[in-house]
Amino acid sequence: MIKIAILGYGNLGRGVEAAIKQNDDMELTGVYTRRDPAGLKIKTEGVAVRAASELENGRDDIDVLVICGGSATDLPVMTPHYAQWYNVIDSFDTHANIPTHFKNVDKAAKNGGKVGVISAGWDPGMFSINRVYADAILPCGQAYTFWGKGVSQGHSDAVRRIEGVKDARQYTIPVEKALDAVRSGSNPELTTGEKHTREVFVVAKDGADKAAIENAIVTMPNYFSDYDTTVHFITEEEMKRDHSGLPHGGSVIHSGTTGEGNKHVIEYSLKLDSNPEFTGSVLAACARAAFRMNKEGVTGAKTILDIAPAYLSAKSDEDLRAHYL
């Protein structure tokens, strides 16, 4: 049994907990929190909730620590810190800062003799793997990544910060025409705004100026101004009834040519009812891989690109060769 602990019990932490339950070779040995442990009720019976401070200096009941924090300020500090004592997994997703984060975790994990898998999930994660495989197989080609339909938490948060907004949910939606063009293998040139539209559901505060809110949304630089954005005002009840899930998904489509112009299209797509539960499931599989690699003497930072597929699976190499190959 691989003894796994979770640090941080938000949506993602709960997703990891749900994934551990589905894997017979893993057990949850603790949930750690920076809040008051007494105030936290988790779903797994008989598992202790402890203060994050109890992780200091290493514990025997943890083979892998899955760190479920935010990429902006939590993970850049937490992952290198805990990598000195534990094999660690995170879902660091600020793409531009991955090289720096990798370097910091690599140093700490090598010093500690541990493995740190960073940026696991689906993008970065499974989508990255598919971009790399496709480019390696069809170097004369081009990859396109589409996201959605799904809830973008970053965009939802940005709308919530607008004056007069009580609650908001933002869906990223791939443009069907753009998807079709890419799938045809025609390698179209597409701007960001031509690939996706954005749909926003807003609960306005009483008496708020809806026209001003809508204008603030559609003109918001980086987040909305480059997109075709639709804003709907709804009631709190409608928000709760229709938009409480966190679905997401998307596609990586790579088209390329070989020989004398033969076209090939590779597509990897995800349709996810729950973004955090799927991401948590990828993190759990990476925890297994980190545990195994470390047992074989591997140390340092890794990404999912450095992990052979077989390491993620609970099945033996023999079983995989006989039944999955």
Q: Which of 4, 65, 129, 203 binds a copy of itself (CB under 8 A)?
A: 129
Beta-carbon count within 10 A of 168 CB: 24
> Parallel, antiparallel, or unpaired for β 262-272 and 248-258?
antiparallel
Q: Which is nearer to a copy of itself, 118 or 158 (CB)?
A: 118
Binding of a copy of itself at residue 68 (CB under 8 A)? Answer: no
Binding of a copy of itself at residue 166 (CB under 8 A)? Answer: no
Assigned token pair, 73 = 């300020």
Helix, strand, coil percentages, rounded to 5, for the chain: 40, 30, 35
Angle of helix 275-295 relative to helix 11-21, nearest 10 degrees, comes to 60
Helix (H, G, I), strand (E, B) or coil at 106: helix
**Do residues 119 and 90 make contact, with C-beta atoms less than 8 angstroms apart?**
yes
Binding of a copy of itself at residue 4 (CB under 8 A)? Answer: no
Q: Which of 53, 136, 192, 221 binds a copy of itself (CB under 8 A)?
A: 136
State which of positions 262-301 bind a copy of itself (CB under 8 A): 262-274, 277-278, 280-282, 285, 288
Binding of a copy of itself at residue 86 (CB under 8 A)? Answer: no
**Span near a copy of itself by CB under 8 A; candidates 13-21, 61-69, 210-218, 225-233:** 13-21
**Span near a copy of itself by CB under 8 A; candidates 59-67, 91-99, 192-200, 211-219:** 91-99
Q: Give me the sign of the Cα torsion angle 276, 277, 283, 286.
A: negative
Query: What one-character-per-residue DSSP string does 173-222 give?
Result: EE-HHHHHHHHTT------HHHHEEEEEEEEEPTT--HHHHHHHHHT-TT
Q: Which is nearer to a copy of itself, 95 or 161 (CB)?
A: 95
Site size for a copy of itself (CB under 8 A): 68
Binding of a copy of itself at residue 47 (CB under 8 A)? Answer: no
Assigned token pair, 42 = 């988790």
Q: Which is nearer to a copy of itself, 14 or 198 (CB)?
A: 14
Q: Which of 54, 137, 210, 241 binds a copy of itself (CB under 8 A)?
A: 137
Instruction: Give the C-alpha separation, 266 to 278, whole Å.
Output: 22
Binding of a copy of itself at residue 208 (CB under 8 A)? Answer: no
Q: Which is nearer to a copy of itself, 217 or 289 (CB)?
A: 289
Q: Report which DSSP code applies to 44.
A: S
Residues at the site binding a copy of itself, with contacts judged by CB under 8 A: 14-15, 18-19, 22-23, 95, 98-99, 102, 119, 124, 126, 128-133, 135-140, 183, 185, 258-259, 262-274, 277-278, 280-282, 285, 288, 303-310, 312-315, 317-318, 320-322, 324-325
